[in-house]
A = this chain, B = another copy of it.
Amino acid sequence: MKAEAAIQALGALAQEHRLEAFRRLVQAGEAGMSAGAIALALGLPNSSLSFHLAQLRSTGLILQERQHRSLIYRADYAAMSSLVAYLMENCCAGADCGADAACEPTERKTA
């Protein structure tokens, strides 16, 4: 992951409505949610929400797919994971990263 991509992704999450939308999608799992359902859940005008979803999508944090008349959004867990890996890259100066730390293996290759 490049620095620029990480900045975009973090910036996308650093906003009240986008963060809540993203978390709902994380919790919704494979099924995802339609744009309308998210707007309703967050109590936002469709046009505002659309703006935010576009921003999340442009960073790759969420995926879009059409299903009948609606657009379904889903969280991209792999994108999230690689963002976290980027933040923790080479952590702790090579020390063992004890139990208190969050220093997991930096990049688990997807099988």
Q: Which residues of A contact B (CB under 8 A)?
A: 3, 6-7, 10-11, 13-16, 19-20, 22-23, 26-31, 75, 77-78, 80-81, 84, 86-95, 97, 99-104, 110-111
Contacts and interface: CB of A to CB of B under 8 A. Distances in A.
Contacts of A84: 84, 102
Contacts of A11: 10-11, 14-15
A16 B30 contact: no
A95 B26 CA distance: 11
Contact of A22 (B31, B87, B92): B87
Contact of A89 (B13, B14, B26): B26
Contacts of A99: 110-111
Given A78-B100, A102-B78, A87 B15 contact: no
A7 B27 contact: no
Contacts of A80: 87-88, 102
A6 to B, nearest CB: 6
B77 A100 contact: yes
